Every structure is written in C-alpha cells, then in structure tokens.
Amino acid sequence: MTHYRCWAEVDLGALRENLAWIRHRVGPDVKIMTVVKADAYGHGLKQIAALLMQSGTDVFGVANLAEARAIRGVGRGWPILMLGACLPDEVETAVKDGVALTLSSAAEAEWCAKIAAALGKTLDVHVKVDTGMGRLGVAPAQALELVQRVRALPHLSLQGLYTHYSSAEDDAEFSARQREKFREVVARVAAAGIHVPLIHANNSAGVLHEPESRYNLVRPGLLVYGVVPPGKRQPASNLHELLRPALALKCRVSLVKEISKGTPLSYGHTFIAPRKMRVATLTAGYGDGFLRAGSGRASMLVGGRRCAVLGRITMDQTLVDVSRAKEVKTGDEAVLIGRQGREEITAAELAEWCGTIPWEVLTAITYRVPRVYLGGHAA
C-alpha cells in the first residue's frame, strides 16, 4: 500500500503498446508526432518524453516553449513542433532551442525570419491551414501564397504543411469538407513544384476515422495514452481491448462512519441521507483534479464495488456510499480512474458524469498528485 493520500499510477508498458499499435495502424512509411501537451495529458511530461524516445516516436508536439524546453532537458536532437502560435517575444528562444514553429500568416513569417537572421540561424516552420477549426491557420485560398512567401524568406526552412480536424470523432460530413479543402491545398502546392517534407492532418480521431488524410505524418494524443476519443463515430473493431489506458487515479479511505436517515452531507447539504447509511470519507477532491462537476453523479471504486459520490466534492475530500462494501476500512485504496477487482471506471466515463471530455479529466489532475511509474524505467 502506498503512503500517498492521492496519486496517479502510470503504466509505461501500456504506453509502449499503444504507440506500437498506432505504428502498426499507420504503417512504416508514416511518421508519428506524439502530442505531449499539458504535462503529457497529465501523465508527466519528462517521464513520458523519455519513454517515447525509447519507444520510437519521431516528433514531439507541444503547446508552448516551456514544454519544448522540458523535452530538451530529457534528450537533445528530437524534432519538436510548437502547435500553438509563437508570440513575437518568444521567437528568439524558439530559434535558440531549435523548436519548429507553426505559421498562420505572412506577418509571423516576416518577424520569425528577421529574428532568425539576427541570430545567424535557420528556423524550421510548418504552415498551418485553417480548414474549419478557426483558431490558427491561413485560409485555404491564401495557403499557396503563404507557402511561397515562407520559401522566399532567408533563414526560414519550410518543413511542414498541416491542418487540424475540429470534430473527426463526431461529424463525418464536416470532416469530409475539411479533408477536401486540405487536399486541394496540398495539390496546389505540389502543382507549383514545391516539395514539403511533412504533410499532416490526422489527430487521434483522424487516425481512427480519416485514413484518406494520413499523408506522411500523424499527430496522436489521446490514443497514445490509451483512451479512445468519445463521439458518434466509434471504431468498428474492439479498439477498447487493443489499447490500454496508461493512467489510474487513486486515493485512500480516511474515515468510515454510520449515519442516520435525514443526515445532511457536505457543503450546501445537497444530499440528505434517505436511510441509515455507511459513508466513507476519501482523500481526494477537486484540488487533486477530481472535478467538482461530478458531485452527486460520479462514483468511485471502493472495496471492489462502485460507490456513489454523496453531496458536493470538496477541495481535498469526497464522501461516498459504502453501505454495500461492508469490509471497507480506514487506509483502504479507492479508485477514481482505473480498475479495482472486476470493476473499472474509465476517464471517458468520469468525463461523462462531469459533463466534459476525457482530455479535461486527465489534464485536470493537479501538480500535488504524485505520479508513480510502473512497468519500466522513465528518466
């Protein structure tokens, strides 16, 4: 039994297997950019980067330069693409650290080229095309012009051309329109005699549902961590059996007590005991990342059973009904995400209870929750 009050267990073997499955699905000629934003989706950036370097990822995708620098601290020489826009005062750091940048406009290209020239270096860049996400990217009609401008600027090296699906897990029709817009851009760039080394569109949902836009690089995030993107478009195969969730979130029982009918529980007394009950206090709350939105809807695994959350989840503690788990006692393990006995609670299930998505559930796990790595060595 661990001495932690709340902790996350990360199965490195599962990560290796998930990456191998993705490699098999896309084939040997397609590179993999593993997306490790937001502390590797809550799994621990440095440790996961080290594992992925050993397991065959080709490129890392990050949101910002702090994440890129953390990867550089683990191992130098790995290609890194900053998927977010780079602010003008960040470009110098990106150039010095050898981080490829995403460009959406000629203005970005101009200032990046100017700073790279002042440093006497060449900056790798990827041009992003906005086919329907609306955040970053050049309009498809202006994409060729931007590509040509980037190629004309000294000290910039065009390494990639890409787009991003907004709802590939849900909307096949809209995704088809995005796919076609990007295909037309790729064709125009090729017709202009321009070779772009890396062309990419597929995120995790794209890997599953959009094989026609696989090109020569894919950008899986959630799939690497063993979670299938939830949505209306679900893969026909037994994918949930082929991929293994890498993260389990656990805490401990701090108190068990009997309460009588009519007893109010937690802040705002939103729960009133309808009968005599056995209630356990657990050492995890929204301060650990167990989202308050799950109050009165979520369950935890205690004593091998699903035990309903009672009342409001608080910052550091949560109450659950252990009336049917007669053997539960102080110090026992409780599971927020993961398996216990024959039962399992997935990140997607917890997300549904909280009215959110598994991406948020995983990245909401806070810094005070220790990550415990199982199944191999991570630096």
40 lies in the same domain as 164:
yes
173 lies in the same domain as 287:
no
- Mean pLDDT value across residues 165-169: 96
187 lies in the same domain as 280:
no
260 lies in the same domain as 208:
no
> Domain containing 281 — which CATH number?
2.40.37.10
Beta-carbon contacts of residue 123 (< 8 Å; ≥ 6 apart): 91, 94, 95, 100, 101, 112, 113, 115, 116, 155, 156, 157
pLDDT of residue 377: 54
Which active-site residues does the annotation give? 37, 267
Considering the domain boundaries, does residue 218 fall inside one? yes
How many domains in the chain?
2
159 lies in the same domain as 308:
no
210 lies in the same domain as 295:
no
Considering the domain boundaries, does residue 215 fall inside one? yes
pLDDT of residue 379: 43
What does the pLDDT look like over 186-208, one tens digit per residue?
999 999 999 999 999 999 999 99
252 lies in the same domain as 329:
yes
253 lies in the same domain as 203:
no
Considering the domain boundaries, does residue 353 fall inside one? no
Q: In one letter, which amino acid is 12?
A: L
- Please report how the helices 12-26 and 45-55 are oriented relative to each other, as an axis angle in degrees rounded to 10: 50
Considering the domain boundaries, does residue 340 fall inside one? yes
pLDDT of residue 242: 86
**How would DSSP label each residue in 274-300?**
SS-EEEEEES--TTTT--GGGTTT-EE
What does the pLDDT look like over 67-86, one tens digit per residue?
999 999 999 889 999 999 99
Write down the pTM of the prediction.
0.94
192 lies in the same domain as 92:
yes
What does the pLDDT look like over 213-267, one tens digit per residue?
999 999 999 999 999 999 999 887 777 778 999 999 999 999 999 999 999 999 9
> Domain containing 132 — which CATH number?
3.20.20.10
Helix (H, G, I), strand (E, B) or coil at 363: helix
pLDDT of residue 376: 67
Quick one: which of 51, 128, 91, 7 has its CA closest to 372?
Answer: 7
pLDDT at 378 over 80: no
Name the H helices within 153-203: 172-191
pLDDT at 275 over 90: yes
The pair of structure tokens assigned to 217 is 């690089």
d(C-alpha 325, C-alpha 361), whole Å: 26
pLDDT of residue 132: 97
18 lies in the same domain as 75:
yes
pLDDT at 45 over 50: yes
- pLDDT bucket at 61, cuts 50 / 70 / 90: very high
What does the pLDDT look like over 295-321, one tens digit per residue?
999 999 999 999 999 999 999 999 999
Quick one: which of 251, 268, 263 has its CA closest to 323?
Answer: 263
Question: Which residue segment(s) compose the domain that 86 sits in?
Answer: 12-226
213 lies in the same domain as 263:
no
120 lies in the same domain as 216:
yes
Considering the domain boundaries, does residue 238 fall inside one? no
